[in-house]
Amino acid sequence: MKFCSVCGHTVTLKVPENDNLPRFVCENCATIHYSNPKIVAGCLPVYQDTYVLLCKRAIEPRLGYWTLPAGFMENNESTEQAALRETAEEANAQVDIRKLYTLTSIVHVSQVQLIYLADLPKPEFDISSESSEVRLFHLDEIPWDQLAFQTIRNALRFYIEDLARGEFPLHCVDINTPPGVYTDPKN
């Protein structure tokens, strides 16, 4: 950030009065510009318990890798609405949300990802501008080495473990390191 989005004056990085973190401050109109984490919401769509719906990414980052339908939450919607919207947009699938399943703080990129466990009532879905391929994978056929993100690996691994136990608790995970540095799904 170099310019004030309110008045167009240049901004200065400094700690405002009664604050303890540096912010971009406009010396002209006194606006303080805050930057905060963004929410990514999506679904883990399950069909007949043992199939999951994955999307092959048609866009960067991780183009060509498989992911769950998920994306940035928009203003003036709920987290569930965001997850359902992303599932409709990316996979052309209508799902029924069962419960909030994973909450992941991806600390180094300032994102919080919410994945809802959802049921796909019929095997109906389609490609989209963001997904070059959309298909159901049996849990025994998940392309583990072709998954786009650690959060996706985690959600699928949790689901397989939880299905065996018959319990699907909320999983809260913090990820503090960039991909490739440390890949334990629990951290």
Footprint of a copy of itself (CB under 8 A):
1-8, 10-11, 18, 21, 33-39, 72-81, 100, 103, 105, 107-108, 110, 112, 129, 170, 172, 174, 176
Provide the phi-psi class of 35: left if phi over 0, else alpha when psi is between -120 and 50, else beta. beta
CA distances from 71 to 9, 38, 42, 55, 85 (A): 33, 10, 6, 12, 9
Q: Based on CB atoms, which residue is closest to a copy of itself, 20 or 166?
A: 20
Least distance between a copy of itself and beta carbon 49 (Å) = 23
Q: Based on CB atoms, which residue is closest to a copy of itself, 127 or 136?
A: 127
Six token digits for residue 73: 């939450």
Q: Is 63 exposed, middle or buried (0-12, 13-18, 19+ CB in 10 A)?
A: exposed
Provide the phi-psi class of 83: left if phi over 0, else alpha when psi is between -120 and 50, else beta. alpha
Q: Based on CB atoms, which residue is closest to a copy of itself, 79 or 94?
A: 79
Task: Determine contact, residues 57/69, Cβ cutoff 8 Å.
Answer: no
Least distance between a copy of itself and beta carbon 106 (Å) = 9
Least distance between a copy of itself and beta carbon 150 (Å) = 15
Least distance between a copy of itself and beta carbon 45 (Å) = 19
Least distance between a copy of itself and beta carbon 115 (Å) = 13
CA distance 141 to 143: 6
Task: Determine contact, residues 119/74, Cβ cutoff 8 Å.
Answer: no
Least distance between a copy of itself and beta carbon 54 (Å) = 22
Q: Based on CB atoms, which residue is closest to a copy of itself, 39 or 163?
A: 39
Q: Based on CB atoms, which residue is closest to a copy of itself, 26 or 68?
A: 26
Q: Based on CB atoms, which residue is closest to a copy of itself, 112 or 163?
A: 112
Closest CA to 84 of 115, 62, 113: 115
